[in-house]
Amino acid sequence: MTDKVDILPADQERLVTRRSMIAGGLLAATAAIANSRRPDEPFRMLSGKPRLNPLFPLKVGDWEYQTSSGLVLPPPDQLSDRLYNAIITRYYASPNGLPVMMLVAYNGVQDGMLQVHRPEVCYPAAGYRIEEQRIVPLDAGGGVSVPGHYLATRSVSRFEQLIYWTRIGNDFPTEWWQQHWAVAKENLKGRVPDGVLIRFSTAAPDDETAITTLKRFIGPLFAQLGPTARRLLFGEAGAPLPVRRD
């Protein structure tokens, strides 16, 4: 079966191109203005030196923490060293289901040019090809919904599926340009946002089994998180700070 390709009329093509150029121009202008303000106020969900291990349980439902190795990671180059200043990796095993791997990579660098190393980059760099991707909404509780990004990847010897999301400030960008827009918005407020990438993966025979397995793990994990972990993963909406009364 061949994919259907819709051909836009010439007028529509010009309209789409014009809109793309306008959107790109507005984003570039906003970024330039934000950068010119040179924000210096950090906007962080974690204070002090971040310690991620105590924030996450060692047992989640039927799963128990086994090791911190065996995960697909970004290459240890200067880019990834600059992006992250706290990373936690965990491999959880279950007697009744597939293993689940967790990665949380936090960035609090105050350089105003925060980016996140997305799995669409690091998985192909590790020899995987992406075969399927879609957005899978995740209910984080408390009225918070997270746009989980589902990827199905395959290497020569392994089939791995994952759900991940990124948080920058209080935004959950799903596209590269949205990451930069989230940074620009905070810069315009005079703040430098922090950011985190959260990834859960497994190795299932098909997409349905993978998504079911990951959701069975993620739901109970969310329920066990304390306020600090919820702010890390979901921003201020995850666990609002108490209102100061001076």
Total structural domains in the chain? 1
Residue 18 lies in a domain: no
Structural domain boundaries enclosing 151: 39-237
In a domain, 52, yes or no: yes
Domain membership of residue 222 (yes or no) is yes
Q: Facing residues of 64 across strands? A: 59, 93
Domain presence at residue 201:
yes
Could you give the CA distance from residue 189 to residue 69 in angstroms, rounded to a whole number? 40
Rg (CA), the chain: 20
Per-residue pLDDT of the chain (246 residues; tens, 9 = 90+): 434 334 344 454 454 445 444 445 545 444 444 444 555 555 566 666 678 999 999 999 999 999 987 787 766 654 455 566 788 999 999 999 999 999 998 887 544 455 556 888 889 988 999 999 999 999 999 999 999 999 999 999 999 999 999 999 899 998 888 888 888 888 888 888 888 999 999 999 999 999 999 999 999 999 999 999 999 999 999 987 665 554
148 in a domain, yes or no? yes
DSSP string of 101-167, one letter each residue = EEEEEEE---SS------HHHHHHHTT-EEEEEEEEEEEEETTEEEEEEEEEEE-SS-EEEEEEEEE
Q: What's the whole-model pTM score?
A: 0.79
Residue 21 located in a structural domain: no
Rounded to whole angstroms, the Cα distance separating 42 from 39 reads 8
Query: Does a structural domain hold residue 71?
Result: yes
* 13 domain residue, yes or no: no
Strands 191-193 and 144-154: unpaired
